[in-house]
Amino acid sequence: MKASVLAACTALLMTTSAIAQTTTTPPATTPPATTQPPTATPPARTPGGETQMKSQAPTEEVKGAWNVKDFMRSRVYNMNGERIGDVNDILIDDGRVTAVILGVGGFLGIGEKEVSMEPGQVKRMVHSDGQPYFTVNATKEQLMAAPDYVRPAKAVRQAPAPSGSGGGGTTR
C-alpha cells in the first residue's frame, strides 16, 4: 500500500516539474490601428499656468485626530493596570467609531477570543514613550465570558447549508 502511494506521488511530482519546464511563446500582438483620445478632463490651470487640484482631504496632520493604524495591536489594560488583551480592529461607520474589537486570552493570537466593545467603554491613553494603549473597566474574566464577536465574512461561512434533496452522501 505504501509503495503504491509513494509511486503515485513520485509520478505526480515528476509530471508537474515537466509541465513547469515547458515554455510557450506568447502570440505576437498587433498594436491598435488608432489611438483613443483621453476621456478624462485635465486639471484646471491657474492664470500663472500652475495646475490646481481641488481636494477636501487634509494635507497635514489634523489637531486632535488620530490614525487608526497607530492603534492596531495596541495593548489593552484593565483599571488595575493588568494587561488583558490587544486591539484587533476598529469599526467605523459613516465617519464614526462604532466598535473596538479586542482580542482577549490566547497566546500569540492562538486561542484568542474577539469581543466587541462600544467606543465609550474603551479609553485611549498614551504611555510616556508615546506608544498608545487602551484601558477598559472590565476584567479579563468578564471579557472571556462576553459574547464572541463574529466577523461578517465568518458569519456567512458559518451559516448552515441549505437543506434540499441533493445527493450529498457518498457511495461505495
Question: Domain segments of the chain: what residues?
Answer: 68-148
Q: Render each residue's pLDDT in the chain as its tens digit; 172 residues.
A: 445 444 444 444 454 444 445 555 555 555 555 555 555 555 555 565 555 555 566 666 556 666 677 677 788 999 999 999 999 999 999 989 999 999 998 777 678 899 999 999 999 888 888 888 899 999 999 999 999 998 887 555 555 666 655 555 555 5
Question: 65-68 long-range CB contacts below 8 Å, 24 or more apart?
Answer: 66/124, 66/132, 68/92
What's the pTM? 0.52
- Look at the domain 68-148 and name its fold: SH3 type barrels. (2.30.30)
Set of cell numbers at residue 45: 490651470
Rg, C-alpha atoms of the chain: 28
Give the Cβ contact number of residue 148 at 10 Å.
9
